[in-house]
């Protein structure tokens, strides 16, 4: 077992600073990072919070899109209203429209006989965070465009428009412009969503934030930062963090649980499905590894595995694997 300290090894002098206190009432001050690209993204989000415009947050899985969206909401004049988050990549396409827009009584077998209020209507007076907006089916894209244009929703199976006052903050780890060119995402909806674009850089492009984030990871678990050998810090700094900040914080939590050097726990990347061990057991293991590496994000896991999202869903059902929603 790799312990946090080994006899006779050189120790680094990484400062064990206390967690930073809230700087005034600025919600963005609570987000860890000092890299210029990160601070520039936060400044744009801070300015967006002063407006009522829709915001499109882009960035790889695990870069903190939902955290930035929550800070944006908290810094806006809608802060006293609800903040509701939905990840379009974790819902089956057939269920997405009813979750977003609600449904009328009697629409679904086993559904609420009195109908269902959708998440957009539930966010009235506040903010709806729509993660993985790229995964919206075409019909849902049309309905969302109507909501943005008219300020109203129509429930599935209904005809009566219901007025709503909600700000949409969307997010994606995909290239929506390319999806528009391919005809897979509506151009008019793209422009409606991206009035203010905010791009979050991946962790590998903000290396000066790795150590502060590791310190933050230990402090959020009420633990002091261990004295690691310099070789471990070097490995943590050189690792490319494909899962970004989420992967880093998960690694710190695992290191605390096992009382081990986090550098010794850095994972190997999941194999594409074509390189997995043959047979159902190998396939299931590869799928689980990809989901773990992608924080439960089905779309990202499917891309890592080299399969479509619908194929992944079928295999999840086959192997009895349940998705767990992760917070950005």
Q: Give residue 278's pLDDT.
A: 65
State how far the alpha carbon of 195 is from the alpha carbons of 116, 120, 174, in Å: 30, 19, 17
Considering the domain 27-199, what is its CATH architecture? 3-Layer(aba) Sandwich (3.40)
Query: Is residue 23 classed exposed, middle or buried when 0-12, 13-18 and 19+ CB atoms within 10 A define those classes?
Result: exposed
Q: Range(s) for CATH 3.40.50.300 in the chain?
A: 27-199
What average pLDDT does the structure give for the chain?
85
The reported pTM is 0.74
User: pLDDT tens digit string along 75-84?
Assistant: 999 999 999 9
Q: Give residue 3's pLDDT.
A: 39
- Do the beta carbons of residue 138 and residue 181 sit within 8 Å? no
For residue 1, pLDDT beyond 50: no
Give the pLDDT band (50/70/90) at residue 94. Answer: confident
State how far the alpha carbon of 293 is from the alpha carbons of 134, 207, 219, in Å: 20, 20, 23
Q: Give residue 267's pLDDT.
A: 60
d(CA 19, CA 225): 11
What residues have CB less than 8 Å from 234, skipping those under 6 apart? none
Q: Domain 203-265 carries which CATH code?
A: 1.10.8.60
Q: Give residue 296's pLDDT.
A: 77
Q: Give residue 14's pLDDT.
A: 42
Helices 280-293 and 298-305 cross at an angle (nearest 10°) of 130
Closest CA to 89 of 303, 317, 289: 303
Q: Range(s) for CATH 1.10.10 in the chain?
A: 273-319
d(CA 326, CA 65): 12
Q: Domain 273-319 carries which CATH code?
A: 1.10.10
DSSP calls for 77-114: TTTTS-EEEEEGGGS-HHHHHHHHHEE-TTSSTTS-TT
Closest CA to 120 of 55, 60, 166: 166
For residue 170, pLDDT beyond 70: yes
- Do the beta carbons of residue 68 and residue 32 sit within 8 Å? no
What residues have CB less than 8 Å from 26, skipping those under 6 apart? 46, 75
């Amino acid at each position: 077992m790799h312990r946090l300290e080994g006899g006779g090894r050189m120790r680094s002098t990484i400062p064990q600073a206390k967690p930073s206190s809230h700087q005034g009432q600025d919600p963005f001050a609570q987000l860890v990072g000092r890299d210029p690209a990160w601070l520039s993204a936060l400044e744009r989000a801070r300015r967006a919070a002063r407006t009522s415009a829709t915001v499109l947050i882009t960035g790889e899985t695990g870069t903190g899109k939902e955290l930035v969206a929550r800070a944006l909401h908290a810094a806006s004049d809608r802060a006293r209203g609800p903040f509701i988050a939905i990840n379009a990549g974790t819902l089956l396409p057939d269920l997405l429209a009813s979750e977003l827009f609600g449904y009328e009584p009697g629409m679904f077998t086993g559904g609420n006989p009195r109908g269902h209020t959708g998440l957009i209507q539930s966010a009235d007076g506040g903010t709806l965070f729509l993660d993985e907006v790229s995964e919206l089916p075409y019909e849902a894209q049309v309905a969302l465009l109507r909501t943005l244009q008219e300020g109203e929703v129509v429930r599935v199976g209904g005809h009566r428009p219901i007025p709503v006052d909600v700000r949409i903050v969307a997010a994606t780890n995909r290239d929506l412009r390319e999806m528009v060119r391919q005809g897979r995402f509506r151009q008019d909806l793209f422009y409606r969503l991206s009035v203010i674009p905010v791009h979050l850089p991946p962790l590998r492009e903000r290396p000066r934030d790795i150590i502060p984030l590791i310190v933050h990871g230990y402090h959020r678990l009420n633990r002091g930062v261990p004295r690691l050998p310099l070789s471990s810090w070097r490995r943590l700094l050189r690792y490319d963090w494909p899962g970004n900040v989420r992967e880093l914080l998960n690694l710190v939590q695992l290191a605390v649980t096992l009382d081990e050097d986090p550098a010794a726990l850095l994972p190997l990347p999941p194999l594409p499905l074509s390189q997995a061990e043959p047979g159902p057991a190998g396939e299931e293991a590869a799928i689980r590894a990809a989901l773990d590496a992608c924080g439960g994000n089905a779309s990202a896991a499917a891309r890592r595995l080299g399969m479509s999202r619908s194929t992944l869903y079928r295999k999840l059902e086959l192997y009895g694997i349940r998705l767990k929603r992760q917070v950005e």
